[in-house]
């Protein structure tokens, strides 16, 4: 999986991503109200959340620690930092400012290495509070054309980390890889559940285009991208739109645009604010946060292995490449430990990887089926007593029940043990029965093999392992 460089009409794209991620704390960033998704609206609130006069923020230490985990996992420098007020009016932000970080973010200057070998610089990863959530009734769900609006303040004050990449991304594929890899890291370090569909991870893309060698073009920011797949589509659409404008002699206006999944286009939301428009100033109600070396070292030492390392370990154990689809998928689901456990109790890691990828999509990161049961199944396969297809059938029953003895299930299906000498004699019989096919096969006509395999399958009533038969035919021809 390598990201191809994007080019259109001679232009290249320049993309930087801003990812907001909700931290998995028990309480909010500056108050004791629960940080919980899906509760009855306006129940997780308090004077700080609502921005009532005189209410003062108290910083959540665990939020700082989770933000440090993110920074350290991205190779950032963790530094002493300050909070700032970012002023703007929005109905779901009761104070009319957001407490964020500005000139002194907690984490600065990191890098995210992608599975395809490319890397993307991280400018900063700072702490800030989330806003409330507006719902617009009637119409499309957007404010335009709606009949009324409701505001839920449960989300206001939820701790966020905003991760800002450098404009190093050059294709929609690379943007997708970045978002999935970042998501995997956030989940691995326990900082967030990072669910794009629930909004606990939100990706905005700054997109511009230029002729190679030219200075950076004017960028547009795309919001409302709800999946990794839409991210790629939105960036591709937006870059083509900008190329068409330039080619028509127009110029690109700096603005915030909304991605519409339905029509597959971006639409103007508002002309873009610059940092000046937010009138940032230091938050007078919070002091400097200065994590000492001992705290930073303790957080670094407690970081679990990151997805890139786990992919390499799984790849080595299973004879795959670290960016093979099965390796990527299983690590992303957090099931790599399970595959390794199967190998540890005497199973085949290679077969376990295939089964876990195909049959454990819904199993979560600690599948109910004991590792020993899957290990026993993979041994039956490697010993040639079950074909891949038969193993799949047996496994489906084991997964369904969450347990089971593969020997007994195989027997109940009549998947009889067929040892290799039995198979050898069936192969010999097939050759004897169809000498013409055998002659053609020996003369290099690969197609003739099908007839011979067919004989064996028929004789074994479908019990023979097609791969083993093929290997035997090849061996006989070559001997």
Q: Which residue lies nearer to Mn ion by CB, 86 or 257?
A: 86
Does residue 426 sit in helix, strand or coil?
Answer: helix
By the rule CB under 5 A, 238 interacts with Mn ion: no
Residue 128: CB minimum distance to Mn ion, A? 5
Residue 19: CB minimum distance to Mn ion, A? 10
Residue 142 in contact with residue 136, Cβ under 8 Å?
A: yes
Helix H or strand E segment including 443: none
Q: Which residue lies nearer to Mn ion by CB, 130 or 168?
A: 130
Helix H or strand E segment including 16: strand 11-22
| Interface region with Mn ion, contact rule CB under 5 A, candidates 31-39, 159-167, 389-397, 412-420 | 159-167
Q: Which of 449, 436, 447 is nearest to 476 (CA)?
A: 449
Residue 7: CB minimum distance to Mn ion, A? 31
Does residue 258 sit in helix, strand or coil?
Answer: strand
Residue 350: CB minimum distance to Mn ion, A? 44
Task: Please report the beta strands in 23-158, taking only residues with DSSP state E, as ranges in sequence order.
Answer: 77-78, 84-87, 97-100, 107-113, 119-129, 133-137, 148-152
Q: How far is CA 476 from the centre of its chain?
A: 47
Rounded CA separation 127/20 (Å): 10
Q: Which residue lies nearer to Mn ion by CB, 88 or 396?
A: 88
Eight-state DSSP code of residue 169: B
| Interface region with Mn ion, contact rule CB under 5 A, candidates 101-109, 156-164, 194-202, 458-466 | 156-164
Residue 201 in contact with residue 195, Cβ under 8 Å?
A: yes
State the pairing for strand pair 255-260/220-225.
parallel
Site map (CB under 5 A) of Mn ion, residues 104-143, x = contact: ----------------------------------------
Residue 114 in contact with residue 311, Cβ under 8 Å?
A: no
Q: Which residue lies nearer to Mn ion by CB, 162 or 381?
A: 162
Residue 34: CB minimum distance to Mn ion, A? 22
By the rule CB under 5 A, 22 interacts with Mn ion: no
Closest chain position to Mn ion (CB): 162
Residue 162: CB minimum distance to Mn ion, A? 4
| Interface region with Mn ion, contact rule CB under 5 A, candidates 155-163, 166-174, 291-299, 336-344 | 155-163
Q: Which residue lies nearer to Mn ion by CB, 257 or 311?
A: 257
| Interface region with Mn ion, contact rule CB under 5 A, candidates 118-126, 157-165, 234-242, 246-254 | 157-165
Instruction: Give 136: exposed, middle or buried? Use CB within 10 Å, 0-12, 13-18, 19+.
Output: middle
- Phi first, then psi, for residue 413 (nearest 5°) are -90, 0
Question: Using alpha carbons only, what angle is made at residue 90 by residues 87 and 94, rounded to the nearest 5 degrees?
Answer: 80
Question: Using alpha carbons only, what angle is made at residue 428 by residues 423 and 432, rounded to the nearest 5 degrees?
Answer: 145
| Interface region with Mn ion, contact rule CB under 5 A, candidates 158-166, 322-330, 349-357, 469-477 | 158-166
Residue 21: CB minimum distance to Mn ion, A? 11
Eight-state DSSP code of residue 138: S
Q: Which residue lies nearer to Mn ion by CB, 275 or 443?
A: 275
Q: Which of 162, 204, 283, 332 touches Mn ion (CB under 5 A)? A: 162
Q: Which residue lies nearer to Mn ion by CB, 122 or 330?
A: 122
By the rule CB under 5 A, 168 interacts with Mn ion: no
Residue 20: CB minimum distance to Mn ion, A? 6
Q: Which residue lies nearer to Mn ion by CB, 124 or 357?
A: 124
Residue 130: CB minimum distance to Mn ion, A? 9
What is the radius of gyration, based on Cα positions, of the chain?
Answer: 29
**Count, residues near Mn ion per rule CB under 5 A:** 1
Q: Which residue lies nearer to Mn ion by CB, 16 or 347?
A: 16
Residue 282: CB minimum distance to Mn ion, A? 17
Give how far Cα 215 sits from Cα of 14, 170, 365, 391, Å: 11, 15, 46, 58
Q: Binding residues for Mn ion, per CB under 5 A?
A: 162
């Amino acid at each position: 999986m390598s990201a191809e460089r994007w080019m259109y009409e001679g232009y290249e794209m320049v993309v930087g991503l801003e990812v907001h991620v909700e931290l998995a704390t028990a309480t909010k960033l500056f108050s004791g109200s629960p940080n919980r998704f899906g509760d009855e609206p306006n129940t997780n609130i308090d004077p700080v959340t609502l921005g009532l006069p005189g209410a003062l923020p108290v910083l959540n230490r665990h939020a700082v620690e989770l933000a440090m985990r993110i920074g350290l996992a991205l190779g950032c420098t963790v530094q002493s930092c300050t909070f700032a007020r970012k002023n703007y009016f929005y109905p779901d932000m009761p104070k009319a400012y957001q407490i964020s970080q500005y000139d002194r973010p907690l984490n600065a200057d990191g890098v995210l290495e992608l599975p395809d070998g490319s890397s993307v610089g991280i400018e900063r990863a700072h702490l800030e509070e989330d806003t409330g959530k507006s719902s617009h009734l009637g119409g499309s769900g957007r404010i335009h054309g709606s009949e009324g609006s409701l505001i839920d303040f449960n989300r206001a004050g939820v701790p966020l980390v905003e991760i800002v990449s450098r404009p190093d991304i050059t294709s929609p594929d690379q943007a997708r890889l970045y978002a999935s890899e970042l998501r995997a890291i956030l989940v691995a370090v326990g900082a967030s559940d990072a669910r794009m569909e629930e909004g606990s991870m939100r990706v905005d893309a700054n997109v511009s285009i230029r002729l190679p060698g030219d200075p950076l073009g004017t960028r547009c920011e795309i919001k409302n991208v709800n999946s990794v797949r839409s991210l790629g589509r939105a960036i591709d659409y937006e870059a083509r739109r900008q190329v068409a404008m330039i080619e028509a002699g127009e110029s690109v206006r700096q603005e915030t645009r909304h991605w519409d999944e339905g029509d597959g286009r971006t639409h103007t939301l508002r002309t873009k604010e610059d940092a000046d428009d937010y009138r940032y100033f230091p938050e007078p109600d919070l002091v400097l946060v200065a994590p000492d070396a001992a705290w930073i070292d303790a957080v670094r030492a407690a970081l679990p292995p990151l997805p890139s390392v786990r992919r390499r370990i799984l790849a080595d154990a299973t004879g795959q490449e670290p960016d093979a689809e099965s390796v990527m998928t299983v690590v992303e689901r957090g099931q790599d430990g399970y595959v390794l456990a199967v190998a540890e109790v005497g199973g085949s890691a290679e077969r376990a990887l295939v089964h876990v990828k195909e049959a454990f999509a819904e199993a979560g990161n600690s599948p109910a089926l004991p590792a020993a049961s899957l290990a026993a199944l993979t041994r039956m396969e490697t010993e040639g007593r079950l074909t891949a297809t038969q193993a799949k059938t047996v496994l489906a029953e084991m997964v369904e029940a969450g347990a089971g003895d593969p020997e007994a299930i195989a027997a109940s299906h009549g998947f009889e043990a067929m040892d290799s000498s039995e198979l050898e004699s069936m192969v010999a019989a097939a050759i004897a029965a169809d000498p013409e096919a055998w002659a053609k096969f020996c003369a290099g006509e690969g197609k003739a093999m099908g007839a011979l395999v067919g004989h064996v399958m028929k004789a074994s009533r479908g019990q023979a392992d097609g791969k083993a038969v093929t290997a035997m035919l090849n061996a006989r021809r070559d001997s």
